[in-house]
Amino acid sequence: MQVQIQALLTAQEGARTGGEAMGSNMGSHMEVAKPAIFNGEAGKVGGFITACRLFLRMKLREAMVEEQMQWVLSYVQGGSADVWKENVMEELELGEVEYESAEKFLTSLKKEFGGGEEKSMKAVELRKMEQGGRTMEEFMQEFKQAARGSGYEGSVMIQSSKC
């Protein structure tokens, strides 16, 4: 209860002084969904990394890189991801590998589990897409999402219609 009262007082003070009291800590008071457990499935690596990035930026921005990486690794469980996690942890403990940022760590995770498979899966998904009963806006958002990481970004993409 005391913590909540203090948070309210801090928020009020921030509103009175133009927001400085809340500043970059605003994210620490917001609720952010945690990522689902990642088990190494290539098709799920993109969503996992996006969820991790969001959480890291909103909740763990001030944490050290090592703490951010350990937090991400705590959500890597099961399947082929377990073996990868053990190897990474061992390499880190032995000082064989060092990451300058959590972003570089997430990039290596994506390279390990996304690789070319994700690109080809997204390209196939693009070819099979149909608007169906969705609105144009819904369809376009899904289309843009599928295009990211497909290897077609920046290319002119024309959708054929079935007559």
Q: What is the pLDDT of residues 70-101, one digit of tens each?
A: 999 999 999 889 999 999 999 989 988 889 99
Given a cut of 80, is residue 113 above it in pLDDT? yes
Higher confidence at residue 119 or residue 138?
A: 138
Given a cut of 90, is residue 145 above it in pLDDT? no
* % of the chain surpassing 70 pLDDT: 69
Residue at token pair 């969705």: 134
pLDDT tier, 1 (very low <50, low <70, confident <90, very high otherwise): low
Against a cut of 0.75, is the pTM above it?
A: no
Contacts 24+ apart (CB under 8 A), 26-35: 27/57, 27/58, 27/59, 27/61, 28/58, 28/59, 30/58, 32/58, 32/59, 34/75, 35/75
Angle between helix axes 45-59 and 102-113 (nearest 10 degrees) is 170
Provide the 3-class DSSP secondary structure of residue 76.
strand
CA distance 1 to 117: 50
User: From the CA atom positions of the chain, what is the Rg in Å?
Assistant: 21
CA 55 vs CA 49, 58, 147: distances in Å = 10, 5, 24
Q: Domain residue spans in the chain? A: 31-113, 117-147
pLDDT tier, 29 (very low <50, low <70, confident <90, very high otherwise): confident
